[in-house]
Amino acid sequence: MHRIRGKSRAKNTGRDKIKRRLLVLPADFWEVVIVMAYLEQKILRKIWRACMEFDLVLPGDRILVGLSGGKDSSFLLYALATMQKFAPFKFAVGAVTIDLGFETPMDEKYLKNFCNALNVPFYFKNTNIAQKAFNHKKQNPCPLCAYFRRGAVANIAVAHGYNKIAFAHHLDDAVETFLMSQIYSGQVRTFAPKTPWENNNLEVIRPLVYLREKEIKGAVKKLPVKVLESSCPLNGKTKREEVKQLIRELTGRNRQVFDNLVAAMRDNHPEMWPQPMGKEELREKYRALGFIN
């Protein structure tokens, strides 16, 4: 067994800039046996701020992560499992993967090993959602697929006693949804960081809403995560992808475009996204949960 040596540690000041954890992986899971992995302070701070501002993670919560195997959901699961170890209060984390029934099946073995390495309960459900969504002649398969998939996740959450479902939507997703709804449906809307689930006591939370997609990509490169490719035939060919490319092109011409869209989404529509908390209010939340004295 080989040891991976990290950088020498500076004198302890009471606040570690980086939380490091030695992650032991099954031999058939990864090319290395031991990986030194961590979450950078900047990334961790943004996730915890979202959790504090929107009450996403609270003592006693049982959180089920929707795990597709993509970079976003894999990072979210890793982040919550790591935060669980260092948080001053207890909360539970689980993961669920819904196989939609495309021709290429999900890599259940890999996902199970990944969750085992994180000491996270893993649930896997085979479905024929893809057939239902793509056989509908008059409706776009994407919203149908999302609807049925969310229902399958909710059923598993209720069956196993989870009170929150975590999805890996990030800030780019929110902005794309905000712009896409105006262009294609004539409405001004996007998803909220936390929303109640209809007809039961579940809540949907999105702990990555303060992170840009590029930050997640950078973080995933440093973690023991293998990103699984989507087996959906429409992957990269959707209206969302068109809007993503549009924002990228406009931002290439004017670096303020993305920030302006965020401001338009949040400052002018507080019913969708509440205003950021002030320093003192945020400090009191951290104090109440035991982060500071």
Nearest C-alpha neighbor of 174 from the set 91, 70, 244, 71: 244
Beta bridge partners of 22: 36
Q: Which residue has the higher pLDDT, 145 or 278?
A: 278
What pLDDT shows up at residue 168? 96
Going by CATH, does the domain composed of 18-282 fall within 3.40.50.620? yes
Give the three-state DSSP class for 122. Answer: strand
Radius of gyration of the chain (CA): 20
Q: What is d(CA 70, CA 231) in angstroms, rounded to the nearest whole number?
A: 11
Instruction: Kindly report whether the global pTM for this prediction surpasses the value 0.85.
Output: no
The mean pLDDT value of the chain amounts to 82
Contact 79, 211 (CB under 8 A): no
- Per residue in 8-61, pLDDT tens? 444 444 333 333 333 333 333 333 222 335 678 889 999 999 999 999 999 999
What are the DSSP calls for 70-101, one per residue? SHHHHHHHHHHHHHHHH-SS--EEEEEEEE--
Mean pLDDT across 118-128: 91
Q: What is d(CA 159, CA 155) in angstroms, rounded to the nearest whole number?
A: 6
Structure token digits, residue 224 = 């023991």
Beta bridge partners of 122: 95
Q: What is d(CA 30, CA 33) in angstroms, rounded to the nearest whole number?
A: 7
Mean pLDDT across 147-175: 93
What pLDDT shows up at residue 56? 97
- Per residue in 213-254, pLDDT tens? 999 999 998 887 888 887 766 666 678 889 999 999 999 999
Q: What is d(CA 181, CA 52) in angstroms, rounded to the nearest whole number?
A: 28
Where do the structural domains in the chain lie, given as residue ranges?
18-282
The answer for residues whose C-beta is within 8 angstroms of residue 9's C-beta and 6 or more apart is: none
> 164: pLDDT confidence band, cut at 50, 70 and 90?
very high
Mean pLDDT across 124-131: 81
Q: What is d(CA 178, CA 262) in angstroms, rounded to the nearest whole number?
A: 9
What pLDDT shows up at residue 233? 65
149 pLDDT more than 50: yes
What pLDDT shows up at residue 100? 79
Identity of the amino acid at 132: K
> 78: pLDDT confidence band, cut at 50, 70 and 90?
very high
Beta strands, E only, the chain: 18-24, 34-40, 62-66, 92-99, 122-126, 164-166, 194-196, 203-205
> 136: pLDDT confidence band, cut at 50, 70 and 90?
low
Mean pLDDT across 240-269: 90
